[in-house]
Amino acid sequence: MTPTSVARKTLLAAVPLLAALFLSAAGQPTVHVAPMDSVGPRPVEQQTRSSIVRDYLQAWQSMGTALGENRPDLLDASFVGLAKDKLADTIREQRSLGIASSYRDQSHDLQVVFYSPEGLSIQLLDTVEYDVEVRDHGKTVGTQHVRTRYVAVLTPTESRWKVRVFQSGS
Amino acid sequence: MRSWVTLLCALIVVVTVPGLAGHASAQASDLRFPQKVEAGTAFSVSTTGSGSATLYIIGPGDTIRRVVHLGESISFGPDDLHNAGHYVAFLVSGSSTQNAQFEVTASHQAATLSFLAKPSRLPVNLPNGVSGVAYVFDIFRNLILQPQQISFELSDSSGRAQIRSATSRDGVAWVKMNSAAKAGPAQFQAEVASVRNKRVIQQVPGDPCSIRMTAHGLGQKDKARVALETEPVRDCNGNPVPDGTIVTFTETYQGGQSMVDVPLKRGVAKTELPSHNGAVISVASGVVMGNEIRWSGGL
């Protein structure tokens, strides 16, 4: 075995590890946001543009932690109404079965498609990639990588935008 | 050297396309779920092998764990999966795990409408003054993403209606409509496939269109004062301006000015001012000026 082939095999074996290290080091998901200049019927102000993206991404963090720790109270900060009810139901189901699921979002491709005339709801589409890991009574069942599209409707509250509708699928 | 470059490229591809490894494992699955399942419908999934296994179905909307027998079909009833979304499935048997992913889609049948109508109160005859936004949900409260034809109807207190229709896109449709010429409560309704949702919008008269007043002396009763009274004050569509609207009478005479604010009562404003011969008396409400009278009957 030549030194070159040894090095090649070593590097090949290290590829998944390096990739994992790279991703975990990155931590935050990559985010692409489509321009919002042509969103209608209401124009999206600059401050709204940044807060909607910030609050939506925070909602993903809240959901991931809430489903991972089976704590519906963690949804309060980012979800309201229908979306909160449905996620809370799922957490109750998970808890009763002894199951936990961890959602780690890796990338978001966001497009705001509707901002209502009176400014009370904003809708965005998100082509998202995430890993979902499932544990049954603490033991890992498996992990799958998912790429799908989410539709989210956010409404303003006292201090932030909260997710009212949160649904994946095309 | 070339092989190192190839290797480096492979590393970059794996690092920058995080889904690659995951997709590969998902594709290797033997567990065959239908790609899409409509919420609330029964379906079954065939399995291969023998013995028992545990099936997990996980999504943000539902969680299922079930012990199944390999080699038999796994049946799902209408109540098992009714929240639309992307689901992952794991079939675990000993050390072997089969994976699958599938989507539960909303039912095509609209069951509820979330309808926002704004504002709740506005002046009559305002172009595009009323907005209506409707989100369409199925019986399981899933947003129906397929286009739906939604009818919006705004009818005033006399029964005259404006009707518009809009096609929902990603679950939402909206319209803007004019407020009616007639003041009073208006019904604003959204309808899709016989599902209706109604809101009431109060249409109030606009600003006064014109103000006309008359003046007359009080005669022997009080020669030092003049009585002023407007005709019924209406907006430009003939709606009576609401009582309480302030009307201002101003009297300008040599060496002075008198001014009084009077709220409309039963559609008219009345007051008395000191009588000055040669005084000019004017009337106004907001930015609307009324007629002027030169008073010649005073002291």
Question: What is the 3-state secondary structure of B198-259?
Answer: EEEEEEECCCEEECCEEEEECHHHCCCEEEEEECCCEECCCCECCCCCEEEEEEEECCEEEE
**Inter-chain residue contact A118 with B170, CB threshold 8 Å:** no
Report CA torsion sign: A124, A127, A131, A135: positive
Three-point CA angle B126, B130, B136, nearest 5°: 165
Q: What is the DSSP string of A19-79?
A: HHHHHHHH-SPEEEE---TT--BS---HHHHHHHHHHHHHHHHHHHHHHHHT-GGGGTTTB
Q: Residue B89 pLDDT more than 90?
A: yes
Of B60, B105, B169, the CB nearest to A63: B60
B56 Cβ under 8 Å from any chain A Cβ: yes
What average pLDDT does the structure give for chain B?
85
**Inter-chain residue contact B97 with A141, CB threshold 8 Å:** yes
Q: Residue B98 pLDDT more than 80?
A: yes
Residue to mutate among A154, A167, A168, A170, with most B CBs inside 10 A, is A167
Name which of B273, B276, B233 is nearest B250 in CA terms: B273
What average pLDDT does the structure give for chain A?
86
How confident is the model at residue B28, as a pLDDT? 41
- Name the residue of chain B whose CA is nearest to A15's CA: B11
Please count the residue pairs, one from chain A and one from chain B, whose beta carbons lie less than 8 angstroms apart. 164
Name which of B149, B114, B117, B152 is nearest B134 in CA terms: B114
B84 Cβ under 8 Å from any chain A Cβ: yes
Contact criterion met (CB below 8 Å) for A114 and A39: yes
Amino acid in the structure at residue B247: V
**Burial per residue of A31-44, b for 16 or more beta-carbon CB atoms within 10 angstroms, e otherwise:** eebeebeebeebeb
Strand partners, B85: B104
- When pLDDT is averaged across residues B246-266 and rounded to a whole number, the result is 91
Q: Is B238 left (phi over 0), alpha (psi -120 to 50) or beta?
A: left
Q: Residue A51 pLDDT more than 90?
A: yes
Residues of chain A positioned with their CB less than 8 A from the CB of B84? 167-169
Distance from the Cα of A19 to chain B's closest Cα (Å) equals: 5
Residue to mutate among A12, A23, A133, A168, with most B CBs inside 10 A, is A168
Q: From the centroid of its chain, how far is CA A54?
A: 12
Report CA torsion sign: B37, B39, B44, B47: positive
Residue to mutate among A145, A165, A166, with most B CBs inside 10 A, is A145
* Omega within 30 of 0 (cis) for the link into B119: yes
**Inter-chain residue contact B60 with A4, CB threshold 8 Å:** no
Q: Residue B63 pLDDT more than 80?
A: yes
Position B168 confidence tier, pLDDT thresholds 50, 70, 90: very high
Q: Residue B4 pLDDT more than 70?
A: no
Q: In what order do the strands lie in the sheet with A30-33?
A: A30-33, A99-115, A122-136, A139-156, A161-168
Residues of chain A positioned with their CB less than 8 A from the CB of B143? 151, 153, 165, 167
Least confident piece of the model among A10-19, A34-43, B135-144: A10-19
Other beta carbons within 10 angstroms of residue A61's beta carbon come to 16
Looking at chain A, the number of H-run helices and the number of E-run strands are 3, 5
Helix, strand or coil, per DSSP, at residue A139: strand
Of B58, B131, B170, the CB nearest to A151: B170
The CATH classification number of B31-105 equals 2.60.40.2950
CA dihedral A24, A25, A28, A33 (to 10 degrees): -110
**Roughly how many angstroms between the first and final C-alpha of chain B, as a whole number?**
115
Q: What is the pTM of this model?
A: 0.76
Residues of chain A positioned with their CB less than 8 A from the CB of B101? 144, 146
**Selected residue with higher pLDDT from B174 and A9:** B174
CATH 2.60.40 for the B208-295 domain, yes or no:
yes
Q: Take residue B93 and report the two structure tokens written for it.
A: 């048997």
pLDDT per residue as tens digits for the range B16-62:
444 333 333 333 446 889 999 999 999 999 888 888 999 999 988 88
User: Within a 13 Å sphere around the CA of A21, how many CA atoms are in the beta-carbon half?
Assistant: 6
Residues of chain B positioned with their CB less than 8 A from the CB of A97? 63, 65
Q: Residue B180 pLDDT more than 60?
A: yes
What share of chain B has pLDDT > 90, as a percent?
53
Q: Residue B91 pLDDT more than 70?
A: yes
Extents of the domains making up chain A: 29-168
- The interface predicted TM-score of the complex, written ipTM, equals 0.82
Q: Take residue A153 and report the two structure tokens written for it.
A: 């409707």
How confident is the model at residue B21, as a pLDDT? 39
Looking at chain B, the number of H-run helices and the number of E-run strands are 2, 24
Other beta carbons within 10 angstroms of residue A67's beta carbon come to 25
CATH 3.40.1190.20 for the A29-168 domain, yes or no:
no
- Name the residue of chain B whose CA is nearest to A22's CA: B15
Q: List all residues of chain B from 116 to 145 with a beta carbon under 8 Å from chain A.
A: 116, 118-119, 131, 133, 135, 141-143, 145
Amino acid in the structure at residue A125: L
How confident is the model at residue B84, as a pLDDT? 94
How confident is the model at residue B49, as a pLDDT? 84
Residues of chain B positioned with their CB less than 8 A from the CB of A148? 86, 103
How confident is the model at residue A2, as a pLDDT? 55
**Selected residue with higher pLDDT from A21 and B192:** B192
Q: Take residue A21 and report the two structure tokens written for it.
A: 């290290």
Element (H, E) at B26: helix B19-27
pLDDT per residue as tens digits for the range A90-130:
999 999 999 999 999 999 999 999 999 988 999 999 999 99
Distance from the Cα of A47 to chain B's closest Cα (Å) equals: 23
The CATH classification number of B112-204 equals 2.60.40.1930
